[in-house]
Amino acid sequence: MSGEPVDLAAVAGSMNLRDVGGLRAGGGITRERTLYRSGTLAHLADDGVAALSRLSLRRVVDLRDAAEVDANPSRLPAAVPVERVPLFLGSVTSFFAEDIGLEEMYRRIVDDSSDAVVRAVRAVVVDQPVLVHCTVGKDRTGVTVAVALSAAGVDRDEVVADYARTAALLPVERTRAVIDWLRAQHPGSTNLEQLVAGSPADVMERLLGRIDAEYGSARDYLLSHGLSDDEVVELGRVLVAR
């Protein structure tokens, strides 16, 4: 295990921050204090930054695009290196304008941004403890972490349950304000609420099922897009205690 035990609730100003340790993985279990996931780190209070420093992070993987980063730069301990891996092709707002659903968004992530998914997973392999985040910690982070966990051998129901937790962890008032603002911009949208705040288990089930059908497994998906055999083996070693 890496880092030290920290009450993540003490990271004041964080959103959807959690440790993915403790998930069943065949005969093993995912290591605690190794891989964290979250939403934006732009609003950390000073004591939140201090609490985050006690995680002893060796890398932060930021999946946001340049406009998001410029508008809301992260507040991090000075010594933590950040790897920028923009995961969307195009802007976040384009998904609301097109009125696509989560399944289409996730299809585009795994099909059109596979190089970025591989880069993010490779960053998990290289340094731990590592934190992967985007703006909400739901979609880009959710897909990346789900693929990494699946490739490491974590049980499917555990991967899906970890993804599905997000909807209950988002701050209610902030989420409602975001939905109201976006609804004024896109009054005819049918997918807006799900895009902002939904993390339905069946959507992730179908995504992982499609990856299995097209590639054989999440492991094979990563291999087919540039991760090496050794890196996949190391991913399982660093994430899962057997």
What DSSP string describes 133-154? E-SSSSSHHHHHHHHHHHHTT-
Q: What percent of the chain has pLDDT over 70?
A: 97
Cβ pair 88, 55 in contact under 8 A: no
Cβ pair 200, 106 in contact under 8 A: no
Q: What is the pLDDT of residue 10?
A: 86
Is the entire prediction scored with pTM above 0.85? yes
Rounded CA gap, 186 and 94, in Å?
11
Q: Predicted confidence band at 226 (pLDDT cuts at 50, 70, 90)? A: very high
Cβ neighbors of 132 (< 8 A, separation 6 or more) are 35, 36, 37, 38, 60, 61, 63, 120, 123, 124, 141, 144, 145
Q: What is the average per-residue pLDDT within 51-74?
A: 95
Cβ neighbors of 123 (< 8 A, separation 6 or more) are 59, 61, 83, 85, 130, 132
- Res. 1: pLDDT tops 60: no
Instruction: Tell me the average pLDDT of the chain.
Output: 93
Helices and strands (H and E) in the chain: how many: 13, 8
Q: What is the pLDDT of residue 204?
A: 98
Confirm whether 134 is a catalytic residue.
yes
Catalytic pick from 134, 195, 203, 238? 134
- Res. 91: pLDDT tops 80: no
The region of weakest confidence among 8-22, 81-95, 157-171 is 81-95
Q: Which residues, in sequence order, are bridge partners of residue 122? A: none
Q: What percent of the chain has pLDDT over 90?
A: 79
Q: What is the average per-residue pLDDT within 166-171?
A: 91
- Res. 3: pLDDT tops 80: no
Compute how many other C-beta atoms are within 10 angstroms of the C-beta atom of residue 68.
19
Q: Which residues, in sequence order, are bridge partners of residue 83? A: 61
Task: Report which of residues 58 and 97 the model is more confident about.
Answer: 58
Going by C-alpha positions, the residue among 137, 33, 138, 144 that lies closest to residue 87 is: 144
